Amino acid sequence: MKIATWNVNSLKIRLPHVLDWLAEHRPDALCLQELKQEEKAFPFAELEAAGYHAVVNGQKTYNGVAILTPAAATDVVRDIPGFADEQKRIIAATVDGVRVICGYFPNGQAVGSDKFDYKMRWLAALTEWVGAEMARHPQLVLTGDFNIAPEARDAHPDWKDEIHVSAPERAAFEALTALGLVDAFRLFEQPERAFSWWDYRMMAFRRNFGLRIDHILVSPALRAACRACSVDKAPRRLERPSDHAPVVLTLER
């Protein structure tokens, strides 16, 4: 079973890349973030022609998430239950017995800003809910654009901003791992300076000036089934790429 996450930075623009990637990799679940479109604009027909169903939590201009699967996913939840939020950042569904939570975590803009406060409140609410989901669904994957580089090695040494690498953000990430979730990427040997996002500016991709902020976390019941996890940099090299690359987990099941 193959589960992947990809922040596409506008599905309208990136649909050709997504269709090509689906054809090449045939994932059992592809979690998308930053659709930047409402569900009524979502390309259901094009994806269906490619052999994929979709569950969508859409929003115009900003945010928006979806899970693509070969067969229809079940038990869909949109947004964090009990957390009042205008922003469409969460969708969860069950895929072949695995609970898949797809999240577009808040950016936070700058440590100490209102947006940072929102990020921290959002993370607290998410963590409480994910704990409850894990109790209901022992086989669970939490994936998406976390907008947190969990450790020093997950950011280029020249990254100077505090955002994405600050102590409170890293503590929030550790609160998720304290639930028992494991960063699947770190179960396997990886290249030095392995990142999943590179700024469009300053030739950042060419210089590999990036961050690893897109993650796939697995519950204890899935840990032993993990066979591989890697960043696929190929789509970042295409014309008009997203600024993020997909991250892919292979499970033996």
Partner DNA sequence: ATGCCAGCTTAGAGCTGA
**Residue 156 Cβ, how far from DNA at the closest point, in Å?**
11
211 binds DNA (CB under 7 A): yes
Tell me: is residue 147 an annotated ligand-binding position: yes
Residues 6+ apart with CB under 8 A from 166: 111
Binding residues among 121-160 for DNA as defined by CB under 7 A: 145, 147
Residues in contact with DNA, shown as a per-residue x/- string from 181 to 200 under the rule CB under 7 A: ----------------x-xx
34 is in an annotated binding site: yes
Q: Are 103 and 90 in contact (CB under 8 A)?
A: yes
Interface positions, 54-113, toward DNA (CB under 7 A)? 60-62, 106-107, 109-110
Tell me whether residue 215 is annotated as binding.
Answer: no
**What's the closest the beta carbon of residue 72 comes to DNA, in angstroms?**
26
Residue 230 in contact with DNA, rule: CB under 7 A: no
Residue 243 is labelled as binding a ligand: yes
Among 12, 26, 237, 253, binds DNA (CB under 7 A): 12
Looking at the DSSP bridge assignments, the partners of residue 30 are 4, 68
145 marked as part of a ligand binding site: yes
Active-site residue 79, yes or no? no
Report the residue from 89, 99, 156, 164 that binds DNA according to the rule CB under 7 A.
Answer: 164
Catalytic residues: 104, 145, 244
Q: Which residues are annotated as a binding site for Mg(2+)?
A: 7, 34, 145, 147, 243-244
Residues that bind DNA (CB under 7 A): 7, 9-10, 12-13, 34, 36-37, 60-62, 106-107, 109-110, 115, 145, 147, 161, 163-164, 197, 199-202, 211, 213, 240, 243
